[in-house]
Structure 1
Amino acid sequence: MAFLLVMTVVVAALFGSFTVKGSSMEPTMVSGERILLDPLHNDDIERFDLVQGIEPGPERFGGGAQVVKRVIGLPGDRVAIVGGEKPIVYVSPAGSGEVYRVDNPAWPTRIGTAVDMCCGEDGTYDDAASGVWATVPGDSLWVLGDNWGGSTDSRGFGFLPVADVSGKAWLRLLPAGSFGGFGDGRVELVEVDAPVSGLDVRP
């Protein structure tokens, strides 16, 4: 029985896991780490989950590649980024008139030159529509990397179809000294009571 359990874990690790490549999710995930996926609960994705999916768009621009990102906008949510020296992400949950600021402790020290406004209708950067809300389609997610200035994410490729999500990151398998879960990285929504400067209208 113990042998069967061990073999099940080994098979899951081999066929239900992936190796992190690149720096887009630092400091949460580091290149070279081995991550175990949970592919069974894609119908139960929650805000701030870490998901692996297929980047939309033409292959010559990165489309078709496997990416790992943090879910910020769920189906029906409205999302926006007010740019500047320290861009701020706003979310209005589906069916709600409330506005929240996304507080991700990883972002402020990793902005670099990625300070554009958002969003166009497809959820991408669009300075011409600065501070305009975009609505996440019912079959999609709006995802961002924890390494703000070093991540290709929904700001570049738009909404991520739920059908193209392989699974949720569940456990860090390797290196052995880092084995364990991810939690939410202390990412949270902070309610905004007053009108937001630079944001066109409250949804």
Structure 2
Amino acid sequence: MAFRKAGFLSQYRFVAVVTVKIFAAFHVLNEAIASSQPCAGWSMYPTLDHYGDAVLLLPMAYWRPKILGMSNKRPERGDLVVTTGMNNPAYTVCKRVVGIEGDVVEIEPTRSLHSSKSWAQGRFLRVPKGHIWIVGDNLSNSTDSRDYGPVPIAMVKGKVTHRIWHRGWLDWTPLGSNMSYLGPSPVPPPGSVQARPL
């Protein structure tokens, strides 16, 4: 029995198919299972460094299969999430969830007299259904829900669980919640709750 040696075209086709499969598997892993997300800027300082850390993003953290009546999990207070930028959809932002649907949040809780957002002090807002309220850990230097209002849950790209790169070194620091839930939202003054986003 004689075997014919595979030609160059067959070998090229095999390499091309294997390469496409590897890239497809990497794409699925990166888009659906886990990916690294660079974060730079002052808004999440000191949780994330302004020089540019990389974090582990889990895109399917809030997804559940639609079997046996299971519904998708929703972001919780204290979660770090990556969302599509409300001011520029070409960018993503990493912020902390401080309010979920139904919560009453104070739009600007800081009391600095020099705050650029002093117009919002003492004003409250109820987070609408299907939305979350996100802010940066560095309240004095963050563009977040205090500027553009509640964020639709559909714009959440995933949950951040770990910092994996810090100041040029590999890192594996868990990034859990740094806030405690103290119970139901306090009752705001009458007439101060706005029914719709700003």
Settle same-fold status: TM greater than 0.5: yes
Question: Structure 1-normalised TM-score?
Answer: 0.62
Give distance in 2, aligned partners of 1:73 and 1:194. Answer: 13
Q: Is residue 76 of structure 1 aligned with residue 68 of structure 2? A: no
Q: Extract unaligned runs of 5+ from structure 1.
A: 1-6, 87-112, 118-125
Larger RCO (alpha carbons 8 Å, 6+ apart)? 1
C-alpha displacement at 1:40, in angstroms?
A: 1.1
1:56–1:64 contact (8 Å) kept in structure 2: no
Residue 146 of structure 1 is aligned with which of 137, 142, 152? 137
Task: Number of aligned residue pairs: give it.
Answer: 151
Which residues of 2 match residues 37-116 of structure 1 at below 5 A? 37-42=57-62, 43-57=73-87, 62-80=88-106, 81-85=108-112, 113-114=114-115, 116=117
Give distance in 2, aligned partners of 1:169 and 1:193. Answer: 25
C-alpha displacement at 1:26, in angstroms?
A: 0.4
**Aligned equivalent of 2:154:** 163
Q: Extract unaligned runs of 5+ from structure 2.
A: 1-24, 63-72, 194-198
C-alpha displacement at 1:21, in angstroms?
A: 1.5
- Given the superposition, is the C-alpha separation of residues 194 and 69 from structure 1 closer, same or farther in structure 2, using an over 3 Å criterion? closer
SS of residue matched to 1:41: coil
Give distance in 1, aligned partners of 2:102 and 2:163. Answer: 31
Question: Structure 2-normalised TM-score?
Answer: 0.63
1:84–1:115 contact (8 Å) kept in structure 2: no
C-alpha displacement at 1:190, in angstroms?
A: 4.0
- Given the superposition, is the C-alpha separation of residues 82 and 33 from structure 1 closer, same or farther in structure 2, using an over 3 Å criterion? closer
Give distance in 1, aligned partners of 2:185 and 2:157. Answer: 37
1:24–1:151 contact (8 Å) kept in structure 2: yes
Identity %: 29
| Amino acid aligned to 2:75 | I
Q: Is residue 28 of structure 1 aligned with residue 29 of structure 2? A: no
**Aligned equivalent of 1:184:** 177
- Given the superposition, is the C-alpha separation of residues 193 and 183 from structure 1 closer, same or farther in structure 2, using an over 3 Å criterion? closer
2:103–2:185 contact (8 Å) kept in structure 1: no
2:43–2:141 contact (8 Å) kept in structure 1: yes
